[in-house]
Amino acid sequence: MRRISFLLPFFLLIAVLSFFGAADGPDYDKDLLSPEFHAGRREALRNLMPDSTVAVFFSAPVHTRANDVMFDFHQDPNFYYLSGLREPNAVLIIFKEKQHIDTLFTNEIIFVQPRNPSDEAWDGKRYGPNGVKQHFKIASVLPGGEFRKLNIDYSKFRKVLFFPLPDDVKDDPYSKEDLFDYVAHFKTVTQKNKNNNTSILAESMAMLRQIKLPEEMELLRKAINISNQAHIELMRRLDSTMTEYQVQAFIQYHFMWAGAEACGYPSICGAGENSCILHYVTNRKPMEQNDLIVVDAGAEYHGYTADITRTLPANGKFSPEQKQIYDIVLEAQLAGIALCKKGNEFRDPHKAAVRVIKKRLKELGIIKKEEDYVKYFFHGTSHYLGLDVHDAGMYGALQPGNVITVEPGIYIPAGSDCDPKWWNIGVRIEDDILITAGEPEVLSGTVPKTTEAIELEMKK
């Protein structure tokens, strides 16, 4: 024991030397977006910024789960899009024109966490300023502590662009280089300015992010392909003895096994009466023999998320009533997908789906007047998809490079004003669609979705 104690300082010295001599950056993945991609996105933003403006982006906050346990950190999508950095406690500043600031002459600065062997022994390796400069090719990289020291006169700009500042930032009392201190400092130096603007950036970033570039599509296709296979495997495994949480565990296992870092959103696995709850995430109910289960789950890969929904019969066979409702939703979805073409308005797929659903529900006698369809279909049919599951976009005319969902549904909870044979039937079908110069590409099209194809897959 004495010998180990005697040698401890020696081993500590070796560890510290090894730490600072190691290659900067936790770069296990080799298919991340390139530094050139992020640099191109910063330049594209500059082209949209008015003259004599500056844009300030803060990394996402770190959130407490309970006591001293934190939720997994997830970078702010805009910050990631422009920098590539997925670490907390950072600030990115983009200038429209190059600026003389102290000893710098630059059009961009990023402030990042310094390397720290003590912290990294607990939380994992950081890039540090040298690593960020090496890996992300941002013109000026400084330690986070310099943010409060650098002499940036925000009052001289025509506009200071930023998103509404986060109000849920945790303060680390032992650090002056965390997001809490950065936000507090920024508020102090800009609070009297009349040139602050919190609206322009939202539109500019939506214009950029709604068009997916080829590098982005590689990652988005990967996320969707992982999700496709997981949904297919679930069809082959599902039976009525499972619980909702076992369904969730099964599909998320396949996400992670295939290389996804996370789920793009909390998985929805709602069976029986829970199939009629849009964003149900409790996932604790044991399934019953005649239940339908709505499974809305998508993998996230390098920040990009899939969003796929299938509705499955727990026992492998749709009842006549379940099949009738399911076929209406599928008809509505196919009508919506047919209108996912360049030049059409964003809401055209929704309008097409509504036309089908209101007509068919009236034919079945579930509604007496077509306008009553909203009792059973009360959400939009589409949203953009990308770095957010509900991604940024302009919601105007569809353009090549848009990726959107088409996801109509019908939800008939118990007690509804219709024949009880329809009660507790909830159906949603969702696919991810790439808008092209020609016909829409259904990126999630390998997942079976006719009742016949699903039943056949469930027999395997």
- The average confidence (pLDDT) of the chain is 94
Residue 168 — very low, low, confident or very high, per pLDDT cuts 50/70/90? confident
User: Which stretch of DSSP H or E encloses residue 118?
Assistant: helix 117-123
Residue 315 has pLDDT above 80, yes or no: yes
Burial of 162: CB neighbours in 10 Å, binned 0-12, 13-18, 19+:
buried
Residues classed as catalytic: 68, 279, 296, 307, 379, 383, 390, 407, 411, 428, 430
Q: Which CATH number is 22-207 given?
A: 3.40.350.10
CA–CA distance, 153 with 165 (Å, rounded to integer): 19
First vs last C-alpha separation in the chain? 60
Overall residue count recorded for the chain in this entry = 460
Tell me the per-residue pLDDT of 243-282, one tens digit each, with 9 for 90 and over: 999 999 999 999 999 999 999 999 999 999 999 999 999 9
Helix, strand or coil, per DSSP, at residue 107: strand
57-66, 91-100, 174-183 — which is least confidently predicted?
Answer: 174-183
Q: Beta strands 196-197 and 159-162: pairing type? A: parallel
Give the pLDDT score at 25.
56
Report pLDDT digits (tens) over 118-162.
Answer: 999 998 999 999 999 999 999 999 999 999 999 999 999 999 999
The structural domains of the chain, with segments of one domain joined by +, span 22-207, 211-458
318-322: list long-range contacts, CB under 8 Å, 24+ apart. 318/292, 318/451, 318/454, 318/455, 319/290, 321/421, 321/422, 321/425, 322/292, 322/425, 322/427
Q: What is the pLDDT of residues 176-193, one digit of tens each?
A: 889 999 999 999 999 999
211-458: CATH, from 3.30.160.270, 3.90.230.10, 2.40.30.40, 3.40.30.10? 3.90.230.10
Q: Are the C-beta atoms of residues 243 and 288 closer than 8 Å to each other? A: no
CA distance 379 to 376: 9
Bridge-based pairing state of the strands 299-301 and 304-305: antiparallel
- The pLDDT of residue 393 is above 90: yes
3-state SS, residue 387: coil
Sheet holding 159-162, edge to edge: 140-143, 104-112, 91-101, 53-58, 159-162, 196-197
Instruction: Please check the confidence at residue 23 and state whether its pLDDT lies above 70.
Output: no
In this structure, are residues 414 and 426 in contact, taking their beta carbons and an 8 Å threshold?
Answer: no
Contact yes or no for 377/357 (Cβ under 8 A): yes
Stretch 110-120: mean pLDDT: 95
- 359, pLDDT greater than 80: yes
pLDDT at 21: 36
Look at 7-11, 119-123, 289-293, 398-402 and tell me which has the smallest mean pLDDT: 7-11
pLDDT, mean of residues 366-384? 98
